[in-house]
């Protein structure tokens, strides 16, 4: 009987076993790769939203604050209207006032704009109605959390008008007089932002204005002067809108 050499069979079986072991190793490494990929995906899904949120915060931090402001205020103080002769037309010293305006923040720490201020001073049965339509500059510095507190000074200069709707004693028909000129104010203030769009503001102010009556002095009402003036010292409280 012919003898068969078993060595080639042993080699074949050995090669098959090695191939099987290699396949197992590949499967194991492939499974590890897949597990690593899944883990990476989970971590990425957690990190990406965090990164987006962080980016949103950074973007909000870099976004400049809105530059437009609309102040509205009411005031109370001492006012003297000078338009009478020999003590006539002395107004009540305590008066109220109103103001509305607009300003633009050109750079951090500086605003400019325009506003209108109004004072009413009672004189017996009538009253002086005074107004200043002014250009405004306001340098300021801010501090506090988010720079929510501002300390500044508003400087105003512009057109002045003072109107007396009815002379005293009353004429028939009523005679009105008007003075026109220039005026200005200086007003230190404190502004506190309560949120992104609203602030309260407290201010003290000194105002002075001088005008002239266009009527011929010989035709002016009783005891009225051709020159008129306004002096005011008071406090203001109001709100400021930012958009």
Model pLDDT, residue 91? 83
> Burial letters for 69-96: b for 16+ Cβ neighbours within 10 Å, e otherwise?
bebebebebebebbbbeeeebebeeebe
Q: What is the CA radius of gyration of the chain?
A: 41
Model pLDDT, residue 169? 60
Q: How far apart are CA 218 and CA 222, in angstroms?
A: 10
pLDDT in tens, 96-143: 999 999 999 999 999 999 999 999 998 877 889 999 999 999 999 999
Average pLDDT over every residue of 65-76: 93
Average pLDDT over every residue of 9-18: 51
pLDDT confidence bin for 215, thresholds 50/70/90: confident
List of long-range contacts for 104-107, beta carbons under 8 Å, 24+ apart: 104/67, 104/68, 104/69, 105/65, 105/67, 105/68, 105/69, 106/67
CA nearest to 137, candidates 104, 111, 100, 99:
111
Contacts of 67 (CB under 8 A, 6+ apart): 104, 105, 106
CA nearest to 74, candidates 102, 47, 98, 48:
98
Whether the per-residue pLDDT at 168 is higher than 90: the answer is no
- Average pLDDT of every residue of the chain: 79
pLDDT confidence bin for 67, thresholds 50/70/90: very high
Residue 65 is classified by DSSP as P
pLDDT confidence bin for 242, thresholds 50/70/90: very high
CB hemisphere CA count around 95 (13 angstroms): 24
């Amino acid at each position: 009987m012919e003898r068969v050499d078993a060595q080639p069979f042993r080699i074949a079986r050995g090669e098959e076993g090695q191939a099987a072991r290699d396949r197992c190793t590949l499967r194991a490494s492939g499974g590890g790769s897949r597990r690593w990929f899944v883990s990476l995906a989970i971590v990425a899904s957690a990190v990406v939203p965090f990164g987006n949120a962080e980016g949103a915060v950074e973007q909000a931090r870099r976004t400049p604050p809105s530059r437009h402001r609309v102040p509205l205020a009411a005031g109370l103080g001492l006012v003297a209207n000078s338009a009478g002769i020999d003590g006539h037309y002395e107004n009540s010293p305590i008066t109220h006032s109103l103001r509305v305006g607009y300003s633009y923040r050109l750079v951090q720490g500086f605003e400019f704009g325009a506003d209108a201020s109004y004072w009413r001073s009672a004189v017996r049965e009538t009253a002086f109605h005074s107004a200043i339509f002014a250009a405004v500059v306001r340098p300021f510095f801010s501090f506090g959390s988010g720079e929510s507190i501002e300390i500044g000074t508003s400087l105003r200069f512009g057109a002045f008008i003072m109107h007396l709707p009815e002379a005293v004693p009353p004429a028939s028909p009523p005679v009105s007089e008007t003075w026109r000129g220039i005026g200005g104010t200086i007003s230190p203030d404190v502004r506190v932002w309560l949120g992104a769009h609203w602030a309260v503001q407290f201010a003290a102010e000194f105002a002075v204005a001088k005008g002239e009556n266009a009527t011929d002095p010989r035709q002016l009402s009783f005891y009225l002067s051709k020159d008129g003036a306004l002096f005011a010292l008071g406090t203001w409280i109001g709100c400021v809108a930012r958009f």
